[in-house]
Amino acid sequence: MADPTILAFDTSAAHCAAALLAGGEIRVAEIEPMARGQAERLMPLLQEVLARAGCTWGDLDALAVGVGPGNFTGIRIAVAAARGLALGLGKPAIGVSTLEAQAEGVSRPCVSIADARRGMVYAQVFTPEGPGAAELISDPATLRPDLPRAPQADPASLPPAMARIAAERLAAGAPLPRPAPLYLRSADALPPKDPAPVILP
């Protein structure tokens, strides 16, 4: 498909971000920093991006969504929205990792690294043959120190990169699996401290 129209979005960190690719260029890109509230803000933001570009939902050829790694809840929000929109619009949804988006346009081979907090990093090696497995590691120096590092990405650059990667996948004509969250660590949520209620007979 030549020059598809793709709406990309990402809520994998403390932001709600979206971009629209049309005619081979990014027409609109928006990011709003937020620690919470992505679930309420995402759909209005997507509608605003479409309106600014003079497009409607029916003009889209595909959706691109950030699948992580990153914030557990944020990833779920974006992936669930992408799946629902894809079903309703009858268009493909293409999952793109934040590590791949960060490495978009960087010569292969390279290593893409992102802060995972708690003294850890997310890392993934990209070669001309394809990506390796994403990992959660404590010492990035141990991961192919011979390879150049992709530069740390501004979060605002992620949805535009995701849209371009999705366009390449559409053009390749390969099967497009449903987007799935890329979780590399368990959720931060803790079980409640209060005892469970007693169920009376």
| CA angle, 133 then 169 then 86, to 5° | 95
What is the C-alpha separation between 85 and 68, in angstroms, rounded? 19
Write the DSSP string, 106-167. Answer: PPSSEEEEEEEETTEEEEEEEETTEE---EEES-GGGS-TTSPBPPPPPGGGHHHHHHHHHH
Q: Which domains does the chain have, with CATH numbers?
A: 6-105+153-172 (3.30.420.40)
Q: How confident is the model at residue 191 (pLDDT cuts 50, 70, 90)?
A: very low
At 28, give phi and psi (nearest 5°). -145, 140
0.85 cut: is pTM over it? yes
| Tens digit of each residue's pLDDT (9 = 90 or more) over 125-177 | 999 999 999 999 988 777 778 899 999 889 999 999 999 999 999 999 989 99
pLDDT in tens, 46-103: 999 999 999 999 999 999 999 999 999 999 999 999 999 999 999 999 999 999 999 9
